[in-house]
Amino acid sequence: MTQYLLVIDEGTTSTRAMLFSPEGHPVASAQHGLTQHYPAPGWVEHDAGEIWDWTLAAVREVVAKAGGADHIAAIGITNQRETMVAWDRETGEPLGNAIVWQDRRTSDRCAELKDAGHEPSIQSKTGLLLDPYFSASKMEWMLKNRPEVRDAGNRLAFGTIDSWLVWKLTGGAAHTTDASNASRTMLMALDGESWDEELCGLFAIDSATLPTIVDCTGEIGRTDPALFGCAIPICGSAGDQQAATIGQGCLAEGETKATFGTGAFILTNSADRPLHSANRLLTTVLCQQAGKRSYALEGSVFVAGSLFQWLRDSIGLIISAPESELLARSVPDNGGVYMVPALTGLGAPHWRADARALVCGMSFATSKAHIVRAALEAQSYQAHDLMEAFEADGVRWAKLRIDGGMAANNWLAQDLADMLGLPVERPALVETTALGAAMLAAVGSGIYPDLQAAAEAMRGEVTHFEPVMSTDERERRLAGWKDALAKV
């Protein structure tokens, strides 16, 4: 009987269930979009009940395609990180909407803590910066502003999305979170086995309301038999960017992946050393197995693929994101046009929330192809700036493994290789986040002895892009980008 791996990939805009063969081939999938709630400017919420309903529906669809729950060897979970859910342990109901990672409502509170001098110690403990992005200030906000959360007493449970799903899947039997997700809450020290009481104190959070921190591989719990016909072991869990790093096979020190989706996230494996950045990169737990952690250095760019959605939907310059490739190829160069896509400020390594976008260098000779090409080139420049920040922190990339929706753009893949001066590799299966979760579940359920073996068996073919641009040309373009950036 074929035994499949079932992955729950709970993203920001949709929830998906995917079935993989033990050789890493995607066999079936089901996907449901999620309602985005914007109750106030800068606020982003999800209904955790809807997330659970769609997860249950998607898992049931692929369990049926597998021929029943007894055909599933194990479940792996990967999720949007930092998003925080509060629920009632007795009723199993969420206590208000989940506060999503993008939500900025705690900006003032984070600024206040920063002004009070808390950032250096938080950064050295957790590897994170004092920013609303992370979960702790979201929990604090719920406790302060939602009576139902404040008054829930010992019925209150907090958790990121992985935690919420495990709790629901196990019928309330397990309240856990894996170490990669825990490292994004700002309540766990990078080398701490459990929650950091000092940090919990700072945000007035009772650690008894938090999940138990567990490994990313190994049995976390079993699904309630009433859900899918029989119990399925949950054997792998990691946050989406960590899962993509594993799915890209970045298992050795220095190996680096870049996911170009809505935003761009670049992570370099730093093995068992949590590197502390002097360049505003984040340090994060990559994976925990048998209590042993590996770490990654992370740089996030806020605007990547969303730039092409904006050029399509709001500006009308392109009719589809893939058209950007044809337009970029239709002109010999950028014609002196540069775009700084700071539509929601600039992320790493600049962290300038106040920056706004700019297009410069236009003349009557400028066509829309030049502007679209400048938008694609901006992706390479942003990756280049991150590469410099990583280098300043002592981390050199030997090559870059790319994935995400934008990685399908061949022109961009080549331009990245040229501007970074590095080989770029793209796997045939760009669903690396789901593949990473499948690899974790495969190891956690004993199908493979370790992640290395899982990567060898489950990762498919890759396409290579080699740098061919002259140094002069590269430097000329980088100088143009630096001028544009200075104007922002």
Which residue ranges make up the site for ligand ADP (CB under 6 A)?
11, 13, 261-262, 305-306, 308-309, 321-322, 324-325, 404-406, 408-409
Least distance to ligand ADP, CB of residue 401, Å: 15
**E strand or H helix at 487:** helix 471-487
Of 127 and 305, nearer to ligand ADP (C-beta) is: 305
The 217-222 sheet, strands edge to edge: 26-33, 14-20, 4-10, 72-79, 233-239, 217-222
Of 215 and 325, nearer to ligand ADP (C-beta) is: 325
Tell me, rounded to whole angstroms, the distance of Cα 225 from its chain centroid: 31
Least distance to ligand ADP, CB of residue 375, Å: 9
Of 110 and 161, nearer to ligand ADP (C-beta) is: 161
Of 11 and 24, nearer to ligand ADP (C-beta) is: 11
According to DSSP H, which parts of 95-196 are helical? 107-115, 119-126, 136-145, 147-150, 161-169, 179-182
Q: Environment class of residue 336 by beta-carbon count within 10 Å: exposed (0-12), middle (13-18) or buried (19+)?
A: middle
According to DSSP H, which parts of 234-322 are helical? 240-247, 305-313
Least distance to ligand ADP, CB of residue 405, Å: 2
Residue 176: how many other CB atoms lie within 10 Å: 22
Least distance to ligand ADP, CB of residue 310, Å: 9
Specify whether the CB–CB gap between 385 and 378 falls below 8 A.
Answer: no
Closest C-alpha to 422, from 432, 413, 411: 413
Of 54 and 308, nearer to ligand ADP (C-beta) is: 308
Q: What is the largest CA-CA distance in the chain?
A: 67
Least distance to ligand ADP, CB of residue 379, Å: 8
Of 43 and 411, nearer to ligand ADP (C-beta) is: 411
Of 74 and 435, nearer to ligand ADP (C-beta) is: 435
Least distance to ligand ADP, CB of residue 409, Å: 4
Strand partners, 427: 462
Least distance to ligand ADP, CB of residue 336, Å: 22
**Angle, helices 432-444/451-458, rounded to nearest 10 degrees:** 130
* Closest residue to ligand ADP using C-beta atoms: 405
According to DSSP H, which parts of 319-426 are helical? 323-329, 368-392, 410-420
Residue 234, C-beta contacts closer than 8 angstroms, at least 6 positions apart: 74, 75, 76, 77, 166, 169, 170, 219, 220, 221, 222, 223, 441
Residue 446, C-beta contacts closer than 8 angstroms, at least 6 positions apart: none
Least distance to ligand ADP, CB of residue 430, Å: 8
Residue 369: how many other CB atoms lie within 10 Å: 19
Q: CA 232 to CA 221: how far, in whole Å? A: 9
Closest C-alpha to 340, from 303, 312, 298: 303
Of 183 and 262, nearer to ligand ADP (C-beta) is: 262
Of 406 and 485, nearer to ligand ADP (C-beta) is: 406
Query: How, if at all, do strands 176-178 and 217-222 pair?
Result: unpaired
Of 186 and 372, nearer to ligand ADP (C-beta) is: 372
Least distance to ligand ADP, CB of residue 13, Å: 5
Q: Environment class of residue 468 by beta-carbon count within 10 Å: exposed (0-12), middle (13-18) or buried (19+)?
A: exposed
Least distance to ligand ADP, CB of residue 350, Å: 21
